[in-house]
Amino acid sequence: APAAREPRRDAAAPSAARPARPQGAPSSPIGRRPASTPEVEEPLRAVRRPGGGARPATPAKPERTPRTVSAPKDPPRLTITTATGSTGEDRTRSVASYRRRVQRMSGKGHQEPKEKLIREVVVPETITVQELANRMSERAVDVTRLLMKQGVMKKITDLIDADTAQLIAEELGHTVRRVAESDVEEGLFGASDAPETLKPRPPVVTIMGHVDHGKTSLLDAIRHTNVVRGEAGGITQHIGAYQVTSPLGGKITFIDTPGHAAFTAMRARGAKSTDIVVLVVAADDGVMPQTAEAINHARAAGVPLIVAINKIDKPDANPQRVRTDLLQYEIQVESLGGETIEVEVSAKEGTNLDKLLELIQLQAEILELKANPDRPAEGTVVEAKLDRGRGPVATVLVQRGTLRQSDIVVAGSEWGRVRMLVNDQGETVPEAGPSTPVEILGFNGAPEAGDRLAVVENEARAREIAEYRTRQKREQAAARATVRVAGLEEMMSQIKTAGKKEMPMVIKGDVQGSVEAIVQALEKVGNDEVGVRVLLSGVGGVTESDVILASASNAVVLGFNVRALKEARDAADRTGTEIRYYNIIYDLVDDIKSAMSGMLSPERREEFLGNAEIREIFSVSKVGKIAGCLVTDGVVQKGAGVRLIRDNVVIHEGKLATLKRFKDDVNEVRAGMECGMSFENYQDMRAGDVIECYRVTEVKRTL
Ligand code: GDP
Ligand code: MG
């Protein structure tokens, strides 16, 4: 905008700016000074007038008097920018700035302070250069110039932080009021409840321990269901929460935190909303690194521990060793005369599970856990995902109050009206009280695991808070991103000098928990010479903007259980950006590790062949279900690998059993043609799903 209006202001200066000048200022300098000087002075003053900087144009439109005398040069070249010296033209700048400096120093420029309005500038946590200039009624170019003087290069659309903004404002003589926009959040989480309103609530228990010591199995045995077998790669990928009844009659809520080292952050978070930690230690393996970590987390959170010595059914089980091992970590179990309750269990055979539940309840009774159920609900998001059929689904642990259908909720930067509450049994419930885990349907977007949830009085408030938080997130991200530019350059020199390499990545996954776990795991990978830098991570399919971001930084895009949208694939082709897909975290981390160590085994390269869209499903006796498809792009080939994708999430991966055109088996079908397909060992396809066809080739790596 300034560039567009400057020349006009030049022309406007004599008619519009001059009447506003205070008495005593030289009125018509033409002829008395060098021709260029008034041209410089006039627009400057026009802008310095109160509000001038914020207004797009000078109040009165100029009657364009030809200014041949005082503007001998091409008018467009003589702009404020050139005149004030922020670019080009040395000669003009030196005259103008010299004059101004002399004026300032001799105090002769007394008209300037008079005209200049000192403002109280409200400065939020981050602000764009333009907005800061507007609030000060200064010109954005002046602000950028000042920034430049301090060695900070910013465009007017760039964000600067509050400290920098304050420095600039004060330099220009304004006063600053720093505000936190977070004022909108005031009172979101209510004050503590009066003692008489508190009622007993079930304990919230987190099972922690080393990977493969049996956390999932134990929780599973308690629930009499079987999660273990359904997990890809055998590790827990998501946090779940469930409620069971102890043999003593009390309810107990369990939060399942995943056990891989990558999940440390989530586990730490799990402990925050946890009353009791059950520490699982396999009797055949003893105390392991993550056992120690779990102990530290529990201790940091001030949460009591119950030790479950698992796998006592195993012939090489040595529960006594577990007990003595634990002494090293200052945990003395009861049977060794200490305070910490321990119990020997077998998740596999169901041994002593009742006893474990009883001990949990007894421990909970000692803790006298209470909450007020008669107030608007507050809680914590345990997990959130985009469900293909149901939209955003958040698993929430209600911590106080009661959550009801059609409540308006805010969590993180998302909000929604509770459309449905689903309990851990998959049943719809009208409400959920303290310590109850429940799925919320009705959010506008998926919040993040660990976000705090609150019920607010109306949609307007919810929207206001969500918008504020979104803005804040975006601004912080932008502020971080601009910092990174310098960081990147630094990194480049580091690469040159120290040889440190960074592998930039963009990570997209199906649920927040997995994404977080991957980021955590990747950040741990690497050493002094080489490491991973995550540019962006998030939930959902790979979008075009993800690819563009990646290509700008020469990054790879990793999709975990998600696929790229069509535009994103195109962008990837165009920019030569690599998108890699995974469905097991271990595989992903291993791949990155080996890529880093430069010891890539024969690369399993995947070549995209084509896509087909399912139009209709036919049931054929004996054969099962056949999908009637239209090949939308590329080609579909018999014997190639296929994936079934619903809403950009991969729901099945396997091989084609049949590929038919009309009644005949064919080897391939090209774009634009219809065909019938069926999968090996898979039936649950639906109209609207997309079938992705790919071929895998092994490329020997040359080092
Ligand atoms: P997590 O990683 O801690 O969640 O461990 P899992 O629950 O996935 O269990 C890891 C492995 O240990 C699985 O193969 C289980 O079948 C096995 N396992 C778990 N509990 C027991 C147990 O009590 N006895 C025996 N023999 N095996 C168990
Ligand atoms: Mg597990």
Residue nearest to atom 9 of ligand 1 (CA): 214
The ligand 1 atom nearest the CA atom of 220: 7
Report which residue type is found at 308: A
Cα of 207 from ligand 1 centre, angstroms: 13
End position of a domain, from candidates 340, 368, 396: 368
Q: How far is CA 607 from CA 198, 235, 587, in A?
A: 61, 28, 19
Cα of 312 from ligand 1 centre, angstroms: 11
* pLDDT tens digits, one per residue of 310-346: 999 999 999 999 999 999 988 999 999 999 999 999 9
What lies within 8 Å, CB to CB, of 428 at 6+ separation is 420, 421, 422
CATH code of the domain containing 451? 2.40.30.10
CATH code of the domain containing 511? 3.40.50.10050
- pLDDT score of 229: 40
Q: From CA 439, how far away is CA 418, in angstroms rounded?
A: 10
Ligand closest to the CA atom of residue 229 = 1
In a domain, 565, yes or no: yes
Does 233 lie in the same domain as 358? yes
Q: How far is CA 417 from CA 386, 444, 445, in A?
A: 16, 8, 11
End position of a domain, from candidates 368, 395, 413: 368
Does 214 lie in the same domain as 359? yes
* pLDDT tens digits, one per residue of 9-51: 444 444 444 444 444 444 444 444 444 444 444 444 444 444 4
Cα of 213 from ligand 1 centre, angstroms: 6
Does 690 lie in the same domain as 632? yes
Tokens at 653, concatenated: 């991966």
* Helix, strand, coil distribution of the chain in percent, nearest 5: 35, 30, 35
Ligand closest to the CA atom of residue 356 = 1
Q: From CA 68, how far away is CA 11, in angstroms rounded?
A: 11
Name the pLDDT band for 235 (thresholds 50, 70, 90): very low
Does 349 lie in the same domain as 394? no
Q: How far is CA 108 from CA 36, 42, 95, in A?
A: 20, 17, 17
Q: Outline where 249-317 has alpha helix (H).
A: 264-272, 289-300
- CA neighbours closer than 13 Å in the CB half-sphere of residue 9: 29
In a domain, 50, yes or no: no
The ligand 1 atom nearest the CA atom of 236: 4
The ligand 1 atom nearest the CA atom of 346: 23
Question: Are 512 and 539 spatial neighbours (Cβ–Cβ below 8 Å)?
Answer: yes
Q: Which domain holds residue 146?
A: 120-179
111 or 126, higher pLDDT: 126
In a domain, 15, yes or no: no
In a domain, 69, yes or no: no
Tokens at 129, concatenated: 């250069």
CATH code of the domain containing 276? 3.40.50.300
Cα of 518 from ligand 2 centre, angstroms: 16
Nearest to 372 by CA among 434, 457, 453: 434
Ligand closest to the CA atom of residue 221 = 1
Strands of 129-221, DSSP E = 159-161, 175-178, 199-200, 204-209
The mean pLDDT of 170-188, rounded to a whole number, is 77
In whole numbers, what is the pLDDT of the chain averaged over residues?
76
Does 235 lie in the same domain as 353? yes
* pLDDT tens digits, one per residue of 641-668: 888 888 888 888 888 888 988 888 898 8
Cα of 212 from ligand 1 centre, angstroms: 6
Does 631 lie in the same domain as 579? no
Ligand closest to the CA atom of residue 218 = 1
Nearest to 617 by CA among 668, 689, 694: 689
In a domain, 318, yes or no: yes
CATH code of the domain containing 128? 1.10.10
In a domain, 162, yes or no: yes
Cα of 622 from ligand 1 centre, angstroms: 38
Q: From CA 174, how far away is CA 143, in angstroms rounded?
A: 13
Does 693 lie in the same domain as 668? yes
Tokens at 200, concatenated: 């007993």
Question: Are 528 and 580 spatial neighbours (Cβ–Cβ below 8 Å)?
Answer: no
Does 333 lie in the same domain as 255? yes
**Residues lining ligand 1, Cβ inside 6 A:** 209, 211-217, 228, 236, 259, 310-311, 313-314, 346-348
Tokens at 649, concatenated: 């999430």
Give the chain's domain count. 5
Which of 212, 217, 223, 231 to probe ligand 1 with, by most ligand atoms within 8 A of CB?
217
End position of a domain, from candidates 536, 566, 597: 597
In a domain, 427, yes or no: yes
Question: Are 669 and 659 spatial neighbours (Cβ–Cβ below 8 Å)?
Answer: yes
Does 271 lie in the same domain as 140? no
- pTM equals 0.50
Q: Hey, is 36 helix, strand or coil?
A: helix
In a domain, 320, yes or no: yes
Around Cβ 183, how many Cβ atoms within 10 Å? 9
* pLDDT tens digits, one per residue of 444-471: 988 887 788 999 988 888 888 888 888 7
Nearest to 620 by CA among 557, 678, 581: 678
Question: Are 341 and 334 spatial neighbours (Cβ–Cβ below 8 Å)?
Answer: yes
Does 143 lie in the same domain as 221? no
Does 387 lie in the same domain as 437? yes
Does 592 lie in the same domain as 610? no
Cα of 310 from ligand 1 centre, angstroms: 8
Per-residue pLDDT at 363 exceeds 80:
yes
Tokens at 530, concatenated: 């080489």
